[in-house]
Amino acid sequence: MFHHQPLSGQTALITGASRGIGAAIAAELAAAGATVVVNYAHSETAAAALVTSIAAAGGKAWSLKANVANEEEVEAMVKQILERENRIDILINNAGITKDGLLMRMKTADWQSVIDLNLTGVFLCSRAVSRAMLKARSGRIINITSVVALMGNPGQANYSAAKAGVIGLTRSTAAEFASRGVTVNAVAPGFIATDMTKELESEAILRSIPLGRMGSTKEVAGVVRFLAADPAASYITGQVLQVDGGMVMR
Ligand code: NAP
């Protein structure tokens, strides 16, 4: 049988990979041959179970705890990966949280914690891997943003601002790293069935999606795999790829 392993020999760090979209991305990149580092902040058991299931499927993975909103923890995480694997080829900035509430009543702490993880965390991880990627003159950074960055959403001023910030960060980083062969792109999911959205599924939401259903984590992971692949996506940089069932057409 012919097993095509386009990412074999590469190391991929996926932040927030213990559950949801991140876990699906980790499984997908491992199936494509990458050695996958499963980052998590709290869900140690889930991260360990994912590592075990990837290994059982013939893939390579290990888990690493770090709060990606914390500069010291991010630096230590990347140092540990470079010591163990000698390389980081792919960074998927996926870790994210919501703290929803109407702006008028939004607590400053709920604004700040969402900005700290969803935006500053992307900056911290991108900066931490940049030296290794620029030196290697190759690399892929894929940032998970959201369609709400493009359309706004009542109750998500903090989240949509952070995710819109990620798009600006993606484009500027892409412009800075392009001459060294490192591409930087964003994926903007619509409504994907995960813990984050489990209370959201409703008739109104489904009506706003032309394809008429929530997306699956696999449908996001497949696009990330494409953006990580060579030569499939090696000429794509600074782009935002929507995976939203047609919610936002522009
Ligand atoms: P999820 O199921 O709630 O999972 C979130 C992941 O982030 C978990 O693995 C969690 O790990 C991790 N995480 C949380 N705080 C962290 C921290 N401080 N440091 C490191 N990791 C941390 O969320 P999801 O739905 O898969 O979302 C994944 C990404 O896609 C997020 O960036 C989200 O904004 C984006 N997105 C999701 C949707 C959707 O419809 N679901 C749509 C658009 C965009 P622990 O449990 O260990 O904390």
Whether 3 is in a domain gets the answer no
Is the CB of 189 inside a 6 Å radius of any atom of ligand 1? yes
C-beta of residue 85 within 8 angstroms of C-beta of residue 9: no
Per-residue pLDDT tens for 117-166? Answer: 999 999 999 999 999 999 999 999 999 999 999 999 999 999 999 999 99
Whether 250 is in a domain gets the answer no
Indicate the pLDDT class of residue 1, thresholds 50, 70 and 90.
low
Per-residue pLDDT tens for 67-93? Answer: 999 999 999 999 999 999 999 999 999
Whether 1 is in a domain gets the answer no
Whether 5 is in a domain gets the answer no
With the most atoms of ligand 1 within 8 angstroms of its CB, the residue from 14, 25, 77, 194 to mutate is 194
Question: Which amino acid type is present at position 51?
Answer: V
Nearest of 90, 190, 193 to residue 145 by alpha carbon: 190
Is the CB of 220 inside a 6 Å radius of any atom of ligand 1? no
C-beta of residue 139 within 8 angstroms of C-beta of residue 128: no
The stretch 208-237 carries a mean pLDDT of 97
> Which residue minimizes the CA distance to atom 6 of ligand 1?
16
Instruction: Name the burial class of residue 29, with classes exposed (0-12), middle (13-18) and buried (19+) by CB atoms within 10 angstroms of its CB.
Output: buried
Domain that holds residue 211: 11-243
Is the CB of 159 inside a 6 Å radius of any atom of ligand 1? no
Tokens of 96: 């994210």
- For residue 90, the domain's CATH number is 3.40.50.720
Q: For the CA atoms of the chain, what is the radius of gyration?
A: 17
**Ligand 1: centre distance to CA 100 (Å):** 14
Is the CB of 74 inside a 6 Å radius of any atom of ligand 1? no
Query: Given the CA of residue 215, which atom of ligand 1 is nearest to it?
Result: 40
Cα–Cα dist 73/62, whole Å: 17
Whether 248 is in a domain gets the answer no
**Ligand 1: centre distance to CA 97 (Å):** 6
The stretch 16-40 carries a mean pLDDT of 98
- Cβ atoms within 10 Å of 92's Cβ, excluding its own: 30
Query: Given the CA of residue 24, which atom of ligand 1 is nearest to it?
Result: 26
Instruction: Name the burial class of residue 192, with classes exposed (0-12), middle (13-18) and buried (19+) by CB atoms within 10 angstroms of its CB.
Output: buried
Write down the pLDDT at residue 204: 87
Indicate if the pLDDT at residue 208 is higher than 90. yes
Write down the pLDDT at residue 203: 87
SS (H, E, C) the chain: CCCCCCCCCCEEEECCCCCHHHHHHHHHHHHCCCEEEEEECCCHHHHHHHHHHHHHCCCEEEEEECCCCCHHHHHHHHHHHHHHHCCCCEEEECCCCCCCECHHHCCHHHHHHHHHHHHHHHHHHHHHHHHHHHHHCCEEEEEECCCHHHHCCCCEHHHHHHHHHHHHHHHHHHHHHHHHCEEEEEEEECCECCHHHCCCCCHHHHHCCCCCCCECHHHHHHHHHHHHCCCCCCCCCCCEEEECCCCCCC
Domain count for the chain, please give it.
Answer: 1
Residues annotated as part of the active site? 159
With the most atoms of ligand 1 within 8 angstroms of its CB, the residue from 94, 118, 150 to mutate is 94
With the most atoms of ligand 1 within 8 angstroms of its CB, the residue from 97, 158, 170 to mutate is 97
Per-residue pLDDT tens for 30-77? Answer: 999 999 999 999 999 999 999 999 999 999 999 999 999 999 999 999
**Ligand 1: centre distance to CA 187 (Å):** 14
Whether 194 is in a domain gets the answer yes
Whether 101 is in a domain gets the answer yes
Whether 188 is in a domain gets the answer yes
**Ligand 1: centre distance to CA 160 (Å):** 14
Write down the pLDDT at residue 98: 98
**Ligand 1: centre distance to CA 144 (Å):** 10
Question: Which amino acid type is present at position 5?
Answer: Q
Per-residue pLDDT tens for 164-203? Answer: 999 999 999 999 999 999 999 999 999 999 999 988 878 8
In Å, how far are 8, 53, 81, 108 from 56, measured between CA atoms?
17, 5, 22, 44
